[in-house]
Amino acid sequence: MAVLAAAPLSARSGVFSLDTPVLAPDRRVLSLDQCADQYVLALSPRANIVGLSNRALNGDSYLRRQAEGLPRNRADIETVLAARPDVVVRWWGGEPRALVALARRGVTVVHLEDAADFAGVRRNVRAVGAALRQAPAAERLIVAMNRRLAAAAGAWRGRPGLYLTSGGATAGSGTLVDAMMRAAGLRNAEGREGFQTVSLERLVAHPPAAIIQGFFDSAGASAQSWSFGRHRVLRRLLAGHTLVSLPSAILACPAWFAADGVQMIAKAAPSQPTSALVLAKTGTNRKRSL
């Protein structure tokens, strides 16, 4: 099995325009999970896609509209082998037995890294582009992402900000969310590494200049009236501070469209002419030119 690890790696958005990749007849490609779906949809010709994951049309799938009409499969060994792929892309999906069987057949498997920064995202894009023989398209995707990052750089001028999910989790250093905040000029108020829980008491006592909401648009967050994100004290706190609500489709996968989130954060900065309240709408994945 030719295993391509995404070496030390982003681009389309609600928002990134997607080029039509050049057809490569011998690059039949299958993705094994929702994150892999996004890379395959962005970089492979539709005619070469022999299977996406069962979550490709979910609300938190960034390129769900591009997934319409394409086959969606389970990631079990029988389904994977029956699709006869030349390339398989995965982040976390796929049975171990299926991966072993693919190795025996010489199938190229691209393992996406859990990118914690934009360098990691670039590696992922290039790894998939190389496996699909779509390196030029991958580079164009990265250029588009880089432009968005450059336009958003420094917008918050070092003011403190805190990421907060509807479940009461936050993100410190070593996460892509932290990289997104820093790219927009925010100083992460969370001093711990990785994903952590945050107390309501801490938020009330030391509210940051900006609260970056994550996954508040998910079905679970809206359905659970008892959840952290719907606490009356927290809702009053959020209403009184600059608020950016990042849609789950941007956060669910470490990919180039994280730059969309950076732009949203930057546009909410006080120096910007736009409103301090930016609520992202889901389902806006229409193709738009840069």
Q: Distance (Å, rounded) from C-alpha 200 to C-alpha 180? A: 23
CATH number of 155-279: 3.40.50.1980
Average pLDDT for 71-83: 89
pLDDT of res. 110 = 96
Residue-wise pLDDT tens digits, 169-224: 899 999 999 999 999 999 999 999 999 998 787 777 877 778 898 988 765 544 44
Q: Distance (Å, rounded) from C-alpha 274 to C-alpha 267? A: 6
Query: What is this structure's pTM?
Result: 0.82
Among the residue ranges 93-102, 119-128, 150-159, 267-276, the one predicted with the least confidence is 267-276
CATH number of 3-149: 3.40.50.1980
Enumerate the CATH 3.40.50.1980 domain ranges in the chain, comma separated.
Answer: 3-149, 155-279
Scanning the chain, the segments in alpha helix (DSSP H) are 34-43, 64-67, 77-82, 96-104, 118-131, 135-152, 176-183, 200-205, 219-223, 232-239, 248-251, 258-267
Check pLDDT > 70 for residue 273.
Answer: no
